[in-house]
Amino acid sequence: MESDTLRTARDTAWAMSQENVELRYRAADAFTRHDLDALLALCDPDVMFISRHLGLEGGGGSHHGHDGVRSWWESLLGVFPTSARSSMRYETSET
């Protein structure tokens, strides 16, 4: 049985604003529809994206900016052309 302290330490639901939750859903929807332009419209031009999909095959790693995301996208759909599942992880940094 988990202790209350451990369970509380892993409870991060409170840490994400509703705005970020909605952004995540919009991004997942764009990904599922294979709508790269809609996905990029949600990303900051200086986005840093880390792929877990292609990392397993040695083609992953980090991708920087819209061009990097576009390159990742083309590689991903080249390997998984019918991919419609979103397993993207989003992190934000407040500055």
Q: Spell out the domain ranges in the chain.
A: 18-79
Query: 59-68 b/e with 16+ CB inside 10 Å = b?
Result: ebeebebbeb
Q: What is the pLDDT along the chain (95 residues), one digit of tens a residue?
A: 445 555 555 565 566 788 888 998 999 899 888 999 999 999 999 999 887 765 565 655 788 999 999 988 888 788 777 765 545 554 545 44
| Cα distance between residue 49 and residue 58, in whole Å | 16
Strand pairing report for 48-51 and 61-64: antiparallel
Report phi then psi at 94, rounded to 5. Answer: -90, 120
Alpha carbon 79 to its chain centroid, in Å, reads 18
Q: What is the pTM of this model?
A: 0.63
Domain at 18-79, CATH from 3.40.50.720, 3.40.50.1100, 2.40.128.20, 3.10.450.50: 3.10.450.50
